[in-house]
Amino acid sequence: GVRADGSAFGVLFDTTWRAELQCTDSTIELQSEGPPCRVIVIDRSSPQQVVRGLAELTGTIPLPPLWSLGFQQCRYSYYPDARVRQIADEFRKRQLPCDVIWVDIDFMDHFKIFTFDPNYFPDPSATNSYLHEHGFKSVWMVDPGVKIEKGYSVYDSGTARDLWVKAADGKDFHGEVWPGQCVFPDFTMPETRAWWGGLYKDFLATGIDGIWNDMNEPAVFDGPDHSMPQDNHHRGGAGIPPGPHTRYHNVYGMEMVRASREGVLAARPEKRPFVLTRDNYLGGQRYAATWTGDNVATWENLKLSIPMSINLGLSGQPISGPDIGGYEKVATPDLFGNWISLGAFYPFARAHKAKGMPNQEPWEFGARIEAVARTALTRRYRLLPYLYTLFREASVDGLPVMRPVFFADPADPRLRKEEQAFLVGGDLLVVPRWAKNVTLPREKWRETHLLGGSDENDGFQPTVKIRPGAAVPLGEPIQHTGEYDLGTLTLLASPDQNGDAEGWLYEDAGDGFAYKQGHYALTRFRLHQGDRTIHVAAKQTEGDFPPRPRRLTVRLVTDIGELVASGDFSGSTNLTIDPKKR
């Protein structure tokens, strides 16, 4: 809740039991099927401070690998392996920036997790090597349902250890998912989580980069409400008490991704894990990113994706986004063009499509929409220095990357219902091209361009505005994060009434954990606009990365147009404004 003066509060009902929440203008009521629970009130000076307070209680995201901020392409399913290589080839041939190809369940042998179909994917290591050689990472699916089949190693080893969720009668619970009748790991048990994590070692040895945990509500095709019976039994351990599924349904997915992340980290301790989950819980941001689930290719779902992603951020999960283009139904070229243009600004940017639907790669909609997608993705990749800095901020204090407009001025009640426009960090305001009657801050945010060319005026790209007094770091156009290099840097700046602007840049190796030992750089840039020059000063405030010389371009967005200055830079300098680019 946000009060008239901009101060704010948050209310947390600390229970995992099945519950119902009702809010009115004057009351907040939770009815739970469990015992009385703690009610925690976070009362702070601003909504930003409330979100920070939530992070103090539930934790923050680990810093993600840089590649996970790039664009990602998925469908149910790319198979056989030749199709995966073909998709990768098309992205590179068409100069469409992309970092990740996703592989859905059809890679498995009869949908048995941690297996590979001998016909469709006879050599997964070769497939991943091909992707790596062409600048791609890969993310592969692992569901919780384990096929009941004697001789199948995952089933046999879990059964020998007695690790499955129990039915009310004490026997192993059986339910139908993709492989047929399955058992389900009881992730409340520490021995189950340790066993599950150990299954990733050989799986990742094929060169897989990231893990996708789907169907983990848990989904059960022949169960009540397509899930487990509420009287199923979980045995707990190590501080988690035994209890019925009605107590642990809401945290089943979180405990699964907790085990997955720990297993991935143990198998590859030198790399940052990336795990995506369909189901999570408050605090689950410590283990996995979240997407908004199976959506539909409609304008309604496109528009809903904005408040859904914002709300996930306000709930402590800054890495989120929907299936770009819509998972179900057929997207029109106009809808897809608008969706991928908006998708460039989601924290997690992945296109995805269901089986049986037409192909939905950008080139499938014709040359015009392919060009729209190229512009949108180039915009995202130019923003990577700013986005990575925001993700670092989220890892420190829990602030979301995608933010509601009212964060720009919490005391302005007009902004509180705005759900078409949104903020990216504190310095950029994004207004979708289709948005109508948008409510914007009273302070004058100046319209700008990320690419500086006419391509952004194609009728699809959202308008981008920059906050007065802000300086946003931009990188060079690249095809994937393997080409990321900030030896050439652009500062997009909007001076305040005194001619000043300030911004931040975070740099590290992009992967691994050396940053935890101080191997990074957090740099503050300060700019001042003169008559014919722009003074730029940089100060590294944290980290032991040695200051690096750069080729620096400053694009100053002013009321009379854009001023451009560039030159070699290493700490402090006056850059002369180019009169030809005024």
Q: How far apart are CA 417 and CA 404, in angstroms?
A: 9
pLDDT tens-digit readout, 405-447: 999 999 999 999 999 999 999 999 999 999 999 999 999 999 9
State the chain's mean pLDDT as an integer: 97
pLDDT tens-digit readout, 38-82: 999 999 999 999 999 999 999 999 999 999 999 999 999 999 999
- For residue 453, the model assigns a pLDDT of 73
Give the mean pLDDT of 342-368.
98
Nearest Cα residue to 200 out of 284, 256, 123, 279: 256
Specify the amino acid at residue 147.
Answer: K
Tell me the chain's radius of gyration from C-alpha atoms: 24
- For residue 291, the model assigns a pLDDT of 97
Helix %, strand %, coil % of the chain (to 5): 30, 25, 45
Residues catalogued as catalytic: 214, 217, 294
pLDDT of 84 higher than 70 = yes
Q: Could you tell me the two tokens for 536?
A: 């730029």
- Give this prediction's pTM: 0.98
Q: How would residue 579 be classed by pLDDT, with cut points 50, 70 and 90?
A: confident
pLDDT tens-digit readout, 156-177: 999 999 999 999 999 999 999 9
| DSSP single-letter state for residue 328 | B
Q: Could you tell me the two tokens for 77?
A: 């399913």
CA angle 47, 346, 398 (to 5 degrees): 35
Q: In angstroms, how far apart are the furthest CA atoms of the chain?
A: 81
Cβ atoms 499, 521 nearer than 8 A: no
Give the mean pLDDT of 316-327.
98
Q: Could you tell me the two tokens for 56?
A: 């103090």
Cβ atoms 429, 465 nearer than 8 A: yes
pLDDT of 318 higher than 70 = yes
End-to-end CA distance of the chain: 45
Give the mean pLDDT of 248-262.
98
Q: How would residue 547 be classed by pLDDT, with cut points 50, 70 and 90?
A: confident
Give the mean pLDDT of 113-128.
98
Q: How far apart are CA 1 and CA 486, in angstroms?
A: 40
- For residue 582, the model assigns a pLDDT of 60
Give the mean pLDDT of 521-533.
96
The owner of tokens 């070692």 is: 201
Nearest Cα residue to 302 out of 276, 340, 352: 340
pLDDT tens-digit readout, 482-499: 999 999 999 999 999 999
Neighbouring residues of 270: CB distance < 8 A, sequence distance ≥ 6: 512, 513
Least confident of 22-31, 46-55, 299-308, 359-368: 22-31
pLDDT of 454 higher than 80 = no
CA angle 383, 389, 392 (to 5 degrees): 140
Q: How far apart are CA 557 and CA 331, in angstroms?
A: 36
Coil, strand or helix at 80: coil
